[in-house]
Amino acid sequence: MNLPYNAFPLDQDPYDVRGFPHRLYIGGQWLPSSDGGLIEVTDPSSGAVIAAVPDATLEDAAAAVEAAAKAAKGWRETAPRKRSEILRRCFELMVERSETLAMLISLENGKALRDARGEVAYAAEFFRWNAEEAVRITGEFGTAPSGANRIVVDYQPIGICVLITPWNFPAAMATRKIAPALAAGCTVILKPASETPLTAYALAALYSDAGVPDGVVNVLTTSTPGPLTSAMLADPRVRKLSFTGSTGIGRALLAEAAKHVISCSMELGGNAPFIVFDDADLDAALDGAMIAKMRNAGEACTAANRIYVQSGIHDAFADGLAQRMAALKIGAGTKADTECGPMITKKAVDKIDRLVKDAVSRGAKVLCGGSVPEGDGFFYPPTVLSEVSPDADMAHEEIFGPVAPITRFESEAQAILHANNTEYGLAAYLYTRDVARGMRVAAEIEAGMIGLNRGLMSDPAAPFGGVKQSGLGREGGQHHGIAEFMEAKYIAVTF
């Protein structure tokens, strides 16, 4: 199915968005929810309802687990080469449909089309990378220290996986889990965020077209994720929970999974420091800050949330950043020239507004932006604050919006103290021409990922994940991503 992008408004049928089916996808069938319930999907640039997707019930969730269980043996026993070729086909189809998928992401998430295109390219890479890795899963063989036997270690698919994803990267957060799970030989049930379900269903159609057998990937949307997830985790055939989302929900799900001793991978919230030392290349640091702050209009777990700038370069950096941020074009994500789209909901705008007002009340100066605009849609303008107090709420909470708070620092030790003064530990950014200093500071910073003179580190070939309250486990990377979906089986052999 290679669909052209058709102009808005959408078809009258709530199950038809740009030709993509978007019912529950269970066992290869497109189904309404068992009680006919629907969840409305909103365009954040206007606040208008653009579609409706089924609101899955406990019965639907049970059917999805059943479908994943039925498909498990066949998929586990499918030759790695065949699994690899199907994943490769997913990659190719994603590339072919990239423009349509990007438009769909922009429509339901609001992000600028250029960001949506970037997301589709990144999301597709997880299929290419895991297609390449699927045929390189190896085991171990050795002699026991006593000499009594041989030690054989075989890596087996962990079993049925429940995958839960957020709205901020509706394609990439799904493929970052589905591709390694399928490469490992697992079957899955994906529960995407209700704010952005259309992309997940469009991708489900793509998997089917690529030859993924029925039941290997199941997708369901629900307005009651808590009870549905609890029910799925209580089924003894489910052996894995892979979650990306907020730390609060992640903690609750860890407790739920503990009841059934289920393996968990958790990609949670972030509060990334962005540190600029006096000796940094100013233009490179500004370029990096724009990417680290403004990719997805700041709605990214890796977004620079606290910007620490050394005294000698502080003023030039703050002026430069304010100029660049003020020049960004705001508008609906689907418009070709938009650089900063709307936030996902009004609630998100209200949170950003609260954080900015709190920082200003503690002495921050507004260099640009700083207030909610009039009009439709959930917009917040690109904003730069300087002299932000380390006690401001935004130094401790995820802003998740286009606000760049700058705090001055004097010494390397002070920068490290600031950077680590958070419960999170996902990403951090450092700008310095002194690579020895960069490596020294990188070693001291409590984060799972460091961008050294880079504003972007996400790469399917590198392990993505956090420490502290930012999560458990890694996605992507040479073996990390697939290992999350496998279990070691040790066989002691005497011969």
222, 200 contact by CB (below 8 A) = no
Among 34, 46, 78, 246, binds ligand NAD (CB under 6 A): 246
Residue with smaller CB distance to ligand NAD, 219 or 406: 219
CA distances from 61 to 33, 68, 92, 185, 261 (A): 10, 11, 30, 21, 20
| Segment contacting ligand NAD by CB under 6 A, of 55-63, 104-112, 222-230, 376-384 | 222-230
Q: 416 to 455, contacts with ligand NAD by CB under 6 A?
A: 426
- 267 included as an active-site residue: yes
**Interaction between residue 226 and ligand NAD (CB under 6 A):** yes
Contact with ligand NAD (CB under 6 A) among 61, 268, 275, 309: 268
The yes or no reply on residue 221 touching ligand NAD (CB under 6 A) is: no
Provide, rounded to whole angstroms, the least separation between the CB of residue 82 and ligand NAD: 30
Q: Is 232 exposed, middle or buried (0-12, 13-18, 19+ CB in 10 A)?
A: buried
Q: How far is CA 222 from the centre of its chain?
A: 19
Rule CB under 6 A: say whether 63 interacts with ligand NAD. no
Residue closer to ligand NAD (CB basis): 193 or 290:
193
Listed residue (237, 220, 236) closest to 228, CA to CA: 220
Among 157, 245, 320, 402, binds ligand NAD (CB under 6 A): 245
Helix axes 80-96, 98-109, angle to 10 degrees: 70
Size of the site for ligand NAD (CB under 6 A): 28
What's the CA gap between 380 and 403, in Å, rounded? 9
- The C-alpha atoms of residue 243 and residue 265 are separated, in whole angstroms, by 6
User: ω into residue 9 within 30 of 0, thus cis?
Assistant: yes
3-state helix vs strand vs coil in the chain, percent to 5: 40, 20, 40
**One character per residue 390-419, x = contact with ligand NAD (rule: CB under 6 A):** --------x---------------------
Binding mask 147-166 for ligand NAD (x = CB under 6 A): -----------------xxx
Catalytic entry in 267, 299, 339, 484: 267
Minimum distance of ligand NAD from residue 221's CB (angstroms)? 9
Between the CA of residue 223 and those of 39, 145, 202, 377, what are the distances in Å?
7, 54, 19, 22
Q: How far apart are CA 441 and CA 52, in angstroms?
A: 49
Quote the CA–CA distance of 38 and 59 in Å, as a whole number. 15
Parallel, antiparallel, or unpaired for β 48-54 and 38-43?
antiparallel
Q: Which CB atom, from 350 or from 412, has the smaller least distance to ligand NAD? A: 350
- State yes or no: residue 168 binds ligand NAD (CB under 6 A): yes
Is 213 exposed, middle or buried (CB count within 10 Å of its CB: 0-12, 13-18, 19+)? middle
- Give the binding range for ligand NAD (CB under 6 A) out of 48-56, 105-113, 265-273, 379-387: 265-273
Residue in the shown chain whose Cβ atom is closest to ligand NAD: 245
From residue 282 to residue 321, the character string flagging contacts with ligand NAD as x (rule: CB under 6 A) and all else as - is -------------------x--------------------
Residues labelled catalytic: 267
Residues that bind ligand NAD (CB under 6 A): 164-169, 173, 191, 193-194, 225-226, 229, 244-246, 249, 252-253, 267-270, 301, 398, 426, 466, 471
